[in-house]
């Protein structure tokens, strides 16, 4: 899809498209997005924050006025949109160290996240859907999430999570509402490295994602008889973006998962790193152990603002102290060495033809699967070729929902 704005800044265009895509499930309005991005110059990350924050504050204030006057539907709708706009306001601050306003990026990014969560929870309380915030036991702490009930009694459930930079709240627009409307209970959560646990306690990503999903499934399935909501034989797991690697990793070692959706599929997070070394993983590890590797990383970051954002954000969420440490950490996130082949449940691998982040990765995952598998490619002609089909959520959810209906229908 040709950029409609920010033609010279692919990251700003994609994040705009990401917000536009959330219109499909009430997370944005076209006019509000259009007038916001008109105020932003390409590459101006502080201007991006300020413009989106202004829109978010205005829409949230309107939501509060509607709520105070007893207009529940209007308040709900505005709180949902404000949640998206606050999330977007903080997005590029993840890769900054300081802003021009005399503050640091951290407090501004944290404030944007906190406001996004608060607005989403306000919307959830006013929703015609049954959406309940939950805290899922995880070691000595908890993981934040939301339980959506599609009706009374046990039934099929879709457990879902986001990826490298998205939140459980955003999953409402990517997949949660779409699945609830189709009759599925839904459980969303933020795992280590994702916004809730990362900001609250500094929990960083871990490659053995089955040890994250396991406690989530315990919370879902080990409930008193009168509170049971899940049909244990029909529990699906959906992972978005980097979640398209994490969810398959969990499914490879977690037999309670009955169906898997990689949205979109990822086989190896370290593929760009190893490509520099002709695919030699050990050579890559050896080179990244040397301090001078940071010089090479610095050059890449200086040449490409998208890379700079990814590395600085990645250092934080991966728990790496240096750019080379982040690159080395990526080498641990893969489905190689027979991991993909361990997946036994029916699996849907989604692929976006124009994906800027993971081109070729869905195909690699699909090739290595030995289970019952389906490949769903989304194209430019459909307006669906962007990463995670941003801008085409209704189309993506139709295909994912139909696949899941068919897959679980055959299990009855």
**Active-site positions?**
241
Residue with tokens 């599929």: 265
Partner residues linked to 188 by β-bridges? 146, 160
Start-end of H helices in 127-242? 171, 177-181, 195-201, 210-221
Neighbouring residues of 78: CB distance < 8 A, sequence distance ≥ 6:
59, 60, 62, 63, 66
In Å, what is the CA distance from 373 to each residue of 261, 265, 350, 403? 10, 12, 11, 11
Cβ atoms within 10 Å, residue 221 = 15
Answer whether the bond into residue 331 is a cis peptide, omega within 30°. Answer: no
Contact 128, 116 (CB under 8 A): no
Q: How far apart are the first and last CA of the chain?
A: 40
In Å, what is the CA distance from 225 to each residue of 49, 153, 222? 47, 10, 9
Token pair in block for residue 3: 């950029």
Contact 351, 362 (CB under 8 A): yes
Neighbouring residues of 85: CB distance < 8 A, sequence distance ≥ 6:
19, 28, 32, 36, 52, 53, 55, 56, 59
Contact 25, 178 (CB under 8 A): yes
Start-end of H helices in 233-381? 243-253, 271-275, 281-288, 293-303, 305-318, 323-330, 361-368
- Helix crossing, 10-21 with 30-37: angle to 10°? 160
**For the chain, how long is the longest CA-to-CA vector?**
64
In Å, what is the CA distance from 395 to each residue of 14, 156, 348, 378, 400? 18, 22, 15, 9, 9
2 Ramachandran zone, left/alpha/beta (phi>0; psi -120 to 50): beta
E strand or H helix at 234: strand 230-240
Contact 347, 262 (CB under 8 A): yes
């Amino acid at each position: 899809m040709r950029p409609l704005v920010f033609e010279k800044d692919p990251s700003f265009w994609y994040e705009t498209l990401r917000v536009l895509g959330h219109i499909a499930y009430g997370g944005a309005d076209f006019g509000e997005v259009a007038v916001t991005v008109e105020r932003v110059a390409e590459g101006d990350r502080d201007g991006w924050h300020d413009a989106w924050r202004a829109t978010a504050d205005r829409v949230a204030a309107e939501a509060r006025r509607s709520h105070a006057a007893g207009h529940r539907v209007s308040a709900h709708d505005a709180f949902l949109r404000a949640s998206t706009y606050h999330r977007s306001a903080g997005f590029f601050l993840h890769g900054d160290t300081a802003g021009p306003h005399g503050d640091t990026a951290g407090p501004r990014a944290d404030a944007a996240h906190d406001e996004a969560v608060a607005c989403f929870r306000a919307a959830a309380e006013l929703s015609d859907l049954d959406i309940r915030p939950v805290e899922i036991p995880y070691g000595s702490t908890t993981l934040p999430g939301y339980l959506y009930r599609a009706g009374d009694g046990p039934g099929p459930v879709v457990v879902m999570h986001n990826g490298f930079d998205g939140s459980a709240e955003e999953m409402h627009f990517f997949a949660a509402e779409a699945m609830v409307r189709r009759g599925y209970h839904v459980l969303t959560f933020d795992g280590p490295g994702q916004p809730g646990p990362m900001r609250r306690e500094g929990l960083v990503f871990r490659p053995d994602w089955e040890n994250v999903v396991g406690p989530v499934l315990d919370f879902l399935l080990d409930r008193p008889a009168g509170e049971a909501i899940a049909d244990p034989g029909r529990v699906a797991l959906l992972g978005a973006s980097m979640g398209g690697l994490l969810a398959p990793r969990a499914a490879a070692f977690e037999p309670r998962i009955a169906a898997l959706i990689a949205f979109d599929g990822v086989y190896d997070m370290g593929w760009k790193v190893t490509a520099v070394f002709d695919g030699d993983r050990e050579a890559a590890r050896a080179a990244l152990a040397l301090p001078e590797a940071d010089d090479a990383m610095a050059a890449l970051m200086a040449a490409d603002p998208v890379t700079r954002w990814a590395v600085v954000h990645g250092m934080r969420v991966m728990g790496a102290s240096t750019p080379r440490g982040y690159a080395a950490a990526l080498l641990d996130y893969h489905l190689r060495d027979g991991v993909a082949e361990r997946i036994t449940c029916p699996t849907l691998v989604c692929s976006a033809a124009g994906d800027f982040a993971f081109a070729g990765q869905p195909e690699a995952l699909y090739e290595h699967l030995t289970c019952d598998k389906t490949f769903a490619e989304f194209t430019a002609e459909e307006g669906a070729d962007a990463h995670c089909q941003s801008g085409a959520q209704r189309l993506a959810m139709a295909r994912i929902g139909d696949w899941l209906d068919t897959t679980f229908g055959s299990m009855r």
